[in-house]
Each structure stands twice: as C-alpha cells, then as structure tokens.
Amino acid sequence: MKTPKSMMKVRCECGAEILLLPDVKEMSSAIEVHIALHLEGVLGQPCTAEEADRLRDELIIQIFRLAGESEEEKEEEEEESK
Ligand SMILES: [Zn+2]
C-alpha cells in the first residue's frame, strides 16, 4: 500500500518525524524549528553547529528524494491523460 502524499514524512536521526509540507517556506521553517531543538539541547545533549548542519542536510536530502518521487508520479499521470 502506498503512503498518501499528504502523509509523507522525513525522519531525523533522533527519530523525530517531520511532516512533508507542500509549501517550501513552511517546510524549511519546520526543519529550522526542529534543528533549533537540537542546538538548544531540548532533545538531549546540545549539538554543535556542525552537527546541526549535518542533520539539516540529512533532512533536506530526504525531502528532495520524496519530492523527486512525487514528481515522477505526476509525470506518469500526465502521460495517462493524453
Ligand atoms: Zn532530530
């Protein structure tokens, strides 16, 4: 069974899941909010700026991967409607 697009999530190394949002600005602020939790030590040991950058990159890579998958689906749908 496929996961509906609206339910797609990216998972941080800490195990937290961030819901994939269609709005880029909202998505990036959701990431920043989560990264800030790491920097502030809310999730355990405060992480370094380098570690925060790495976690952010990991999340962004996952987002691009998911976005790429849904883009392919869209193209297929367009093909079918022709
Ligand atoms: Zn995290």
Note whether residue 3 is domain-resident.
no
Query: Is the pTM value of this prediction over 0.85?
Result: no
Burial of 38 (0-12, 13-18, 19+ CB in 10 A): buried
Note whether residue 7 is domain-resident.
no
Going by C-beta distance under 8 Å and a sequence separation of 6 or more, which residues neighbour residue 56? 31, 35
Q: 29-77, pLDDT tens digit by residue?
A: 999 999 999 999 998 899 999 999 999 999 999 998 988 877 776 666 6
- In the chain, how long is the greatest CA-to-CA distance? 54
Distance from the alpha carbon of residue 81 to the mean position of ligand 1, in angstroms: 41
Provide the domain count of the chain: 1
Note whether residue 46 is domain-resident.
yes
- How many residues would you count in the chain? 82
Note whether residue 13 is domain-resident.
no
Distance from the alpha carbon of residue 52 to the mean position of ligand 1, in angstroms: 9
CB count within 10 Å of CB 43 equals 15
Note whether residue 54 is domain-resident.
yes
Note whether residue 70 is domain-resident.
yes
Domain that holds residue 42: 23-81
